[in-house]
Amino acid sequence: MEISIMYPNLGQVIDALANPQLSRQYLNFPLTPQTLHDTKSYFYGIAGFPYVIGVIDGTHVLIKAPSQDEPAYVNRMGYHSINADGLVLPNDSRMLRESGLHALFLGGHVPGDHSYLLGDSGYPCQRWLLTPYVNLQPGAQTRYNSAHKTTRSKVES
């Protein structure tokens, strides 16, 4: 099925990301001890949140209605889109479950016991994916949420 994207050049970006040679060249995840250390230091420097190796957020990319399976592309706001997760490194949760990133963490391929992603409350809290407290108590939870929000805001920049 071909989906027409409504933004100029976005189709080219998606094609490039789907190309294994290009994605290996430009997209990587910190898995060596040195890159993990450097990444954790970078995120710690933002708001003092320890052991963070990435922040994640989702967005909907507007598309023209496809001719096949059209209802599957209507999002909760009522328009046609593709849901995409974005991960920020220093230089809808279904998407995460189906990603290679999810498999890296669940398969134990991220070295060390203390490596976390930060996500908003739309993601499920996991051993490796930390989300904010919803029913916030004063004190430690408030400080946690503040550091979490400041650090995670990098994905929205």
pLDDT in tens, 91-122: 455 656 666 777 778 787 777 678 999 998 88
Look at residue 124 and tell me if it is in a domain: yes
User: Band of the pLDDT at 26, cuts 50, 70, 90?
Assistant: low
pTM of full prediction above 0.75: no
What is the DSSP secondary structure assignment for residue 86, as one 8-state letter? Answer: E
The range of the structural domain enclosing residue 101 comes to: 10-156
β-pair type (52-62, 81-88): antiparallel
Look at residue 2 and tell me if it is in a domain: no
User: Band of the pLDDT at 2, cuts 50, 70, 90?
Assistant: very low
Look at residue 99 and tell me if it is in a domain: yes
Look at residue 78 and tell me if it is in a domain: yes
pLDDT 10s digits, 34-60: 888 998 999 999 999 999 988 888 777
Number of domains in the chain: 1
Look at residue 1 and tell me if it is in a domain: no
Phi/psi of residue 119, each to 5°? -135, 165
Please give the single-letter amino acid code of residue 130: L
Look at residue 5 and tell me if it is in a domain: no
Look at residue 22 and tell me if it is in a domain: yes
